[in-house]
Each structure stands twice: as C-alpha cells, then as structure tokens.
Structure 1
Amino acid sequence: MNSRTPGWWAYVSLLTVSALMAAPLVWLVLTSLKAPEQLASEPLSWWPRPFRWQNYHDAVNAIPFFRYLANTLLLCLGNVTGTLISCSVVAYAFARLRWPGRDVLFAVLIATLLLPWQVTMVPRFLVIRELGLYDSLGALIVPKFLGEAFYIFLLRQFFLTVPQSLIDAARLDGCSELGILFRVMLPLCRPALLTVGLLEFVATWNDYGGPLMYLNDPDRFPLAYGLEQFISSHSSELNLLLAAAVLFTLPIVMLFALLQRAFLDGIATTGLKG
C-alpha cells in the first residue's frame, strides 16, 4: 500500500498543475464566446449565457484576417525551409567533417547565442536595406537561409549520436558528403528536424519585432502585427479581442498536439533533457 502512495500523489500533483496551467486557456475560450452585456455585468463568470459565436465572425471581419494569415503561412513556410536546409548543412560540417579551425569557429558560433537581438538589429537592417529587401517578405525569409546558431547546435548534437560506422560505410560505397547528409543523416534525424521545424514555426508565427522593423505595407503584415493593430483599434471590445486571441493561438496548439511525440523525442535524443 505504501509503495503505491507516491504514485497516486504524483498523479494528483500532475493533474493539479495541469488544471492550473489550463485554466487561463479555458477562461480565454469561454470568455471569447460571451456577449458584451454579460462581460459588463458578470466579468468574473466563466460560462457564457448564451454562446455567442458571432464574436469570431466579427473578429475575422474587423481586420483582413485571411490576408494576414496567408502572409504568416508564407513566412512560416519560407523560414522553416531555410532554417532546415542551412542549419542541417552547417551542423553536419561541425559534427562529422574535420577541417582547420572547426572547434574555434563552433565556439564563436555558440558565443553568438549570448548576444541579444537588439545588438544586431541596426546592422541587420542596413544589410537588408542594401540588398533591396526592405518592405518585402524576403527581408524576413532570406536571413533564415544563413543559419541560426541555436538550431545548428541542436542538430549537431543529434548528428553526433549517429554511429560513425554508418558514415564510413557510405564513404566506402563512394557517397559524397552531401550524399551522406541527405541519404544517411537526415533520414535518421527526423525527430530533430521536426523539433527544429516546430520551434522555428512557432517563432515565426509569434514574431512581432521583425515585421515591425522590416515591413511598411499593411498588405504584407503577418497575424502577429495584425493582432496588435486589432488591439489598438478595438481595445474596448473585450469579446472580440479574446476571439481574435483564440484564433491566433489555436493553430499553434493544434500543431503541437499533432507533433508533440516527435517534438519530445527530438529534445530527448539531442541531449538537451533538462
């Protein structure tokens, strides 16, 4: 009996913490379905009376939601593609190729993780402007094809777990280094690739500073910037604000729910557990 007690307490503790974490999200969804009159008269009540689905229709029509959504999806597709291509190539070079200065350059790469985004903000803006990419989605997509230090480190850790014998066998068969990368390494590191892709997707979806800095045309704004504009123009309509917040959050929650097993496997196999 005593041996089972810690297990039950663990379940109770997990359920309690989960309920506390889920409570704000549940409140967000339920409140987004309330009528303005109920929000004014019963601000602390949880259950909508009645359910007002019209809030979502009004929130979508209040801004060019689907145009912002298309821009966001295009950015996510370009950034995830660029990140996976560039970071996997660089990570393979750091993990499995021997060349002069490799370890020193990798240390410099890791040191860049200590730099806040604001330090490189002005130089990056000047480069983007000189390339003629200002006020275009390319200003946010092209830099992703140049690699990200954290994702390079993440993939390198996974590549180091692949047995060297597989790489040596591929080389004996006459496979080039790029062939080893695309035919041997990448098929074996799908959990890590999914992890990197999911992290970059979420980062792009939530990015507000990049569009604010590089975009000027409202037709190119993503959802994150559009949501901020929505908040500014509808600050007194709480039901519409919460409906827009649910629409903005729902795709991320669904994506994580679908890929959570691969995401957790990727984190575990890269050696970043805790």
Structure 2
Amino acid sequence: MKQITATTLKYFSLIVACLVTLLPIGVIFMAAFKTKQEFRDTGPFDVPQSFNLDNFVTAFTKGQMVQGFVNTVIILAVAITGTIIIGTMAAYAIDRFRFRGRTLVLGGFLLATLVPAVTTQVATFQVINSLGLYNTRAAVMLLFMGTDIVSIYIFVQFMRSIDKSLDEAAVLDGANHLTIYGRIILPLLKPAIATVVIIKGIAIYNEFYIPFLYMPSRDLGVISTSLFRFKGPFGAQWEVISAGVIIVLIPTLLLFLFLQRYIYNGLTSGATK
C-alpha cells in the first residue's frame, strides 16, 4: 500500500511539474500567432483563429533577430573553442603532473566558485575597458572563455579514466607532453567535450547580463539582448514579443532534445569515474 501511494505521489508531482513548466510556454505560443486585435479580445488559452506569421516576420526584421543570431553564433564558436582548449589543458596538467602548489591550484578553483560574480564586475569592467575591448565581441568572448570549475571537473573526471600507461608508451616512442595531449588525451576526451559544449553553449546562449553590459551597441546585440530590446519599440505589442520568445526558445529546445543523452551520460560518467 505504501509503495502504491509513493508511486502515485511521484507521478502526480511529475505531472504537476510538467504543467507548471509548460503552461507559460503554451500561453506564449498561442500569443505568438495572434493578431494585435485578437490578442486583446481573446483569452490567453484561446487557440488563434488563423495562425498569423506576421509577428515572426516583424521580430526578425525590425527586432534584428537575424543579426542577434549571427553575433551569438560567432561568440559561441570562439568562446567554446577557447573553453575546451583551456579546460582540457588545465585538466591534463592537474591530473597528470605532480607539482608544488597543485593542491593550492585546486583550492583556488573551488574558492573562485564561492565568490559571487557580481562582486567582481567593477574590477572586470575596468580591465576590459583598459584593454580597449569595451563594446566589442572580443570582450564577451574573453569573459566567456574563462573556464568554470564545472568544465574542469568534468574533464578531470574523464581524464582519470584514461590509463596512464598510454602516456608512458607514448613517452617511450619519443612523444612530448604536447603530442600526448593532442594525439592521445584530446581524442579520448570527446564524451567530456560534447558534454561541456552542450552545457556551456546553452549557458552562453541564454546569458544576458554580460552581453548587455559589455556590448551596448545595437549592432552587436545577441539573442538575449535583442529580445530584451523589444520592450522599447514593441513595448505594447505582446504578440510580437511572444514571437521573439519562441524564436529564441526553438534552437535551445531542439539542441536539448537531440543531445540530451550526451548531457546525462556525460554528467553521470564524470561523476562516477
């Protein structure tokens, strides 16, 4: 009896959680296909009389969503590439080498995660401004490229599953550390790299604060800031704002649906190895 009750409560809570999550998305989806008059005269859950696509056209053209996608893709490509290179090299050095201060380095990574990012923004902004990178893509790329402890943790856990005898055999064949890293370690870290690409990519795609602060120019707007700017010229046109939200949601949703098994497998493997 207790098992039946626990199972019932479990599935009931899952159903409630799904409804709470999908309800706002459903309202936005309905609003995105309504005309301005229809949006005012109908309820939030009413199905549109004719699925109007003009809102999406307005979002793409006047909202500069295309430019936002282009800027986002450029920043994503550079930042994720830098994150992978820095993260895998750091994990390789931490796991394979025994050096003085190694424990201090690991402690420094952990300590950095305890410091709220907003408390360092004044100093960070001064550094970026002094380098002449303010209001450029390079500023955001540089900040995103900084590898977080989660990425390093995933790479280190996968690194520990790679037998060190491979390194020793490569050394006997005359390979140096850079060759071992590039030809042995990096290819074997593909599952971890896929996991970091997905997690970091979604985080960068959804990031608003850093692009908004360091790239105020409208031409440098990314997806999140382009959507935020709808509050100005489209402040009263909620149907256009809803269309913009759907445009932003679709790439993330498709990426997660197609690659979710890599996220789960990568995190699970990284936690147990």
TM-score by length of 1: 0.89
In the TM superposition, what is the alpha-carbon distance from 1:121 to its structure 2 partner? 0.8
1:38-117 equivalences in 2 (<5 Å): 38-117=38-117
Q: Distance in 2 between matches of 1:22 and 1:272?
A: 32
SS at match of 2:117: coil
Q: Residue 119 of structure 2: SS of its match in structure 1?
A: coil
Match of 1:164 in 2: 164
Paired residues in the alignment total: 272
Counterpart for residue 200 of structure 1: 200
CA contact (8 A) 1:192 1:263 kept: no
Q: Deviations over 1:138-195 (max 9, x none)?
A: 0111244453333222211221222233333333333222222222222222221111
Q: Note closer, same or farther for the CA distance 1:216–1:42 as it changes in structure 2 (3 Å cut).
A: closer
User: Following TM superposition, by how much is the alpha carbon of 1:207 offset from its aligned partner in structure 2, in angstroms?
Assistant: 1.8
Alignment partner of 1:267 is 2:271: no
Q: Which residue does 1:133 correspond to in 2? A: 133
The Cα RMSD (Å) is 2.5
Preserved contact between residue 79 and residue 200 of structure 1 (Cα < 8 Å): no
One-letter amino acid matched to 2:57 = H
The 5 A counterparts of 1:184-223 are 184-223=184-223
Give unpaired runs (5+ residues) of structure 2: none
Aligned-partner residue type, residue 116 of structure 1 = P
Instruction: Name the residue aligned to 1:124.
Output: 124
The one-letter code matched in structure 2 to 1:232 is G
| AA at the equivalent of 2:84 | L
With over 3 angstroms needed to count, the CA separation of the structure-2 counterparts of 1:145 and 1:40, relative to structure 1, is: closer
Query: 2:159–2:189: 8 Å Cα contact kept in structure 1?
Result: yes
1:75-95, Cα deviation, whole Å (9 max, x unpaired):
111111111111111111111
Tell me which moved more, 92-101 or 163-172: 163-172
Contact 2:32–2:55 (8 Å) recurs in 1 = yes
Change (3 A) 1:26 1:215: same
Shift in Å, 1:20:
4.3
Query: Partner letter of residue 255 of structure 1?
Result: L
Q: Is the 8 A contact 1:85 1:145 kept in 2?
A: no
Q: Deviations over 1:83-132 (max 9, x none)?
A: 11111111111112111111111111111001111122111111112222
Q: Which residue of 2 aligns with 1:34?
A: 34
Residues 41/121 of structure 1: CA separation in 2 closer, same or farther (3 Å cut): same
- For normalisation by structure 2, the TM-score amounts to 0.89
Distance in 1, Cα, partners of 2:145 & 2:249: 27
1: CA distance between counterparts of 2:28 and 2:169? 55
Identity %: 26
Equivalent pair of 2:31/2:44 in contact (CA under 8 Å): no
Alignment of 1:137-148 (within 5 A): 137-148=137-148
| 2:23 alignment partner AA | A
Q: Which runs of 5+ in 1 are unaligned?
A: none
Q: After the TM superposition, list the runs of 4 or more consecutive aligned residues in structure 1 that deviate by more than 6 angstroms.
A: 3-13
Residues in 2 aligned to 1:118 and 1:9: alpha-carbon distance in whole angstroms: 40
Indicate the larger mover: 93-102 or 55-64.
55-64
Distance 1:55 1:171 in 2: 61
Query: 2:199 touches 2:263 (CA, 8 Å); kept in 1?
Result: no
> Given residue 203 of structure 2, which amino acid in structure 1 is its aligned partner?
A
